[in-house]
Amino acid sequence: MEIWEILRRWHDGQSISAIAKSIGSDRKTVRNYIRLACEQGLTRQNVLQQKEQILPLIQTAIERLHSKADKQALLASYLDEILSLVNHTDNPLKPKTAFEVICQRHDLVGKVSYSSFKRLARARQICAEAQRSTCRIELPPGQQLQVDYGRMGLLLDVLSDRRRTVNAFIGTLAFSRHKFVEFVFSQDQQSFVKSHVTMFDFFGGVPKTTVIDNLKAGVLHPDLYDPTLNRAYAEMAEHYHTFIDPGRVASPKDKGKVERDVQTVREFFRKTIALHPSITITELNRLARLWLLDDYGQRPHGTTGQKPLVLFNEYERQALLPLPPEPYTVALWKEATVHPDHYIQVNRHFYSVPDPFVGKTVLVKVTPSTIQVFYQERLIKTHPVARTLRSTDWADFPSNVQHALDAGLPRLLCLKARHIGPHFEMLITQILSLHAFLNLRRAQGLVALASGYPHDIVEAAAQRAMSLDKVVSYRTFKHILEALVRDRSIPNDELELSLETQSFVRSMDYFTHHTGEPDNV
């Protein structure tokens, strides 16, 4: 029936391309069937013979022609799988990428040509891409690098044991089109800077300028003429002697070379996920490096016509700025407020700051080994990274506080608590260990309060207070002491009555002599 439909359409005057598209066959097959029919006397001018008459005449050549179309028929057997890859909800692939996945899954590499797949795709209308044109600007080697983030899809994070959104950090050199790709779960300022450091090491040099988006990881305040870079990113650019040129807001063509690469990298991501569904992000980045060097970098670029890696090695590598002799240490910059207790909070730890800066907002530079505090661009304090909750320099506190602490007042309070009992000593020690300066008055109050009660009552109160999931204040501890004293003074078989209740209490004689009946009854 397919052969008959070909002959009928050809006799009607339709072109070979139109026939191939209509019936889902390739043009070579259509042309061969028409040639065989013409050899048997079929022409467009004569009346079309009945199919029972003409089909037997070309039946002997069907097997020979089928051997030429068996590759497309082989792909057609995987049509449902191809469509599922192209129309996948989470990771849809482009038809070409789906073809590569099918070939690797079913051992068809080198056995089926991409041309056969394209004919099948056109016939089944699997792909229909619109073409757009734009103006491009070429730059000399080493002049510019374009950077962008692109959302790729979902991937299992083995650390959190849940699926998370993966973004690709992409850097494309404007001259050679050689690129760097790193898949990340986070887009914060530290991740952004780390990806730059890894990228410069990958290229073995630094471009003169870097064009970026106005994302918050790089730019705090987007502005056409005076954009404000975040501190960590600006410090990194200064270390590598490169300049950052943020693109205009909502102007993707300012970095069009890397914008186009987002689609290419997304296809690589989806193809890799299709082939390795349980891959980790570490292994994904390793395969991305191999893909850049062995596959993408060795294919002629659609715009330049040159292989990106070859063009990079021959011209652009030597035009890049050399890497600094000292490796860059990625730092986190953040704002913090100096609280009345002279501490700032950084990454769930507390660090003391000198007394004149209480109430001020400071900038904190966090590195793996140190914490540096700046106020109005001036370094005012340096701490090693805390291994305990607090890192304290008593010189940061006022002289009266230092005198109280140097005089051994906390030690004296702990000694007084020890004379009362071990539980009360433990309570006072816990209070002072959190922050001796802030909690000194509270510890003094508890010790003074305990002096007016029996030691066993204070011990029981301290034991109960430490079991509470809240701060033990003077008032809380007093209420516990009073409750323990009250419980001890009342027998177990009696209840304490309020004064109002006691006013209604009557003796038994009252009820026997005031029943409301005559006395002689």
Provide the pLDDT for residue 227. Answer: 43
pLDDT single digits (tens) 452-484:
898 889 999 998 888 887 778 888 899 999 888
pLDDT single digits (tens) 182-210:
999 988 878 888 999 999 999 999 998 88
Provide the pLDDT for residue 381. Answer: 93
pLDDT band (50, 70, 90) for residue 280: very high
- According to the 3-state scheme, what is the secondary structure of 11-78? HCCCCHHHHHHHHCCCHHHHHHHHHHHHHCCCCCCCCCCCHHHHHHHHHHHHHHHHHHHHHHHHHHCC
Tokens of 138: 């070429």
Provide the pLDDT for residue 226. Answer: 40
Q: For residues 18 and 211, which has the higher predicted lDDT (pLDDT)?
A: 211
| Listed residue (232, 292, 233) closest to 265, CA to CA | 292
Does 346 score more than 70 pLDDT?
Answer: yes
Provide the pLDDT for residue 344. Answer: 92
Is the Cβ–Cβ distance between 398 and 409 less than 8 Å? no
Lowest mean pLDDT among 291-295, 357-361, 395-399: 395-399
Does 250 score more than 50 pLDDT?
Answer: no
Is the Cβ–Cβ distance between 247 and 259 less than 8 Å? no
Q: How far apart are the C-alpha atoms of 178 and 311, rounded to whole Å?
A: 8
pLDDT single digits (tens) 374-390:
998 789 999 999 888 87
Give the chain's radius of gyration (CA, Å). Answer: 41
Q: How far apart are the C-alpha atoms of 397 and 223, rounded to whole Å?
A: 42
- Residue 330's identity, in one-letter code, is V
- Residue owning tokens 């040639």: 35
DSSP 520: T
Query: How many beta carbons lie within 10 A of that of residue 445, not counting itself?
Result: 15
Q: Quick one: CA torsion of 41, 47, 48, 49, rounded to 10 degrees? A: -70
pLDDT band (50, 70, 90) for residue 252: low
Lowest mean pLDDT among 140-154, 227-241, 346-360: 227-241
pLDDT single digits (tens) 67-118:
445 666 777 788 888 888 888 877 888 888 888 888 888 888 888 888 778 8
Provide the pLDDT for residue 490. Answer: 56
Q: How far apart are the C-alpha atoms of 263 and 303, rounded to whole Å?
A: 15
Q: For residues 407 and 269, which has the higher predicted lDDT (pLDDT)?
A: 269
Dihedrals phi, psi of 188, to nearest 5 degrees: -75, 175
Q: For residues 254 and 144, which has the higher predicted lDDT (pLDDT)?
A: 144
Does 314 score more than 50 pLDDT?
Answer: yes
Provide the pLDDT for residue 5. Answer: 73
Provide the pLDDT for residue 18. Answer: 77
Does 148 score more than 80 pLDDT?
Answer: yes
Does 430 score more than 60 pLDDT?
Answer: yes
Structural domains of the chain in order of their starting residue, each with its CATH number: 2-123 (no CATH), 144-319 (3.30.420.10), 332-397 (2.40.50), 401-489 (no CATH)
Whole-number percent of the chain with pLDDT over 70: 77
pLDDT single digits (tens) 107-145:
888 888 887 788 777 777 675 444 455 556 677 898 888
Whole-number percent of the chain with pLDDT over 90: 21
Q: Which residues neighbour 483 within 8 Å (Cβ) at sequence distance 6 or greater?
A: none
Does 272 score more than 80 pLDDT?
Answer: yes
pLDDT single digits (tens) 220-235:
444 433 445 677 787 8
Q: In whole numbers, what is the pLDDT of the chain averaged over residues?
A: 79
Lowest mean pLDDT among 86-95, 197-206, 283-292, 312-321: 86-95
Q: For residues 9 and 134, which has the higher predicted lDDT (pLDDT)?
A: 9
Q: How far is CA 404 from CA 63, 169, 363, 390, in A?
A: 104, 55, 31, 20
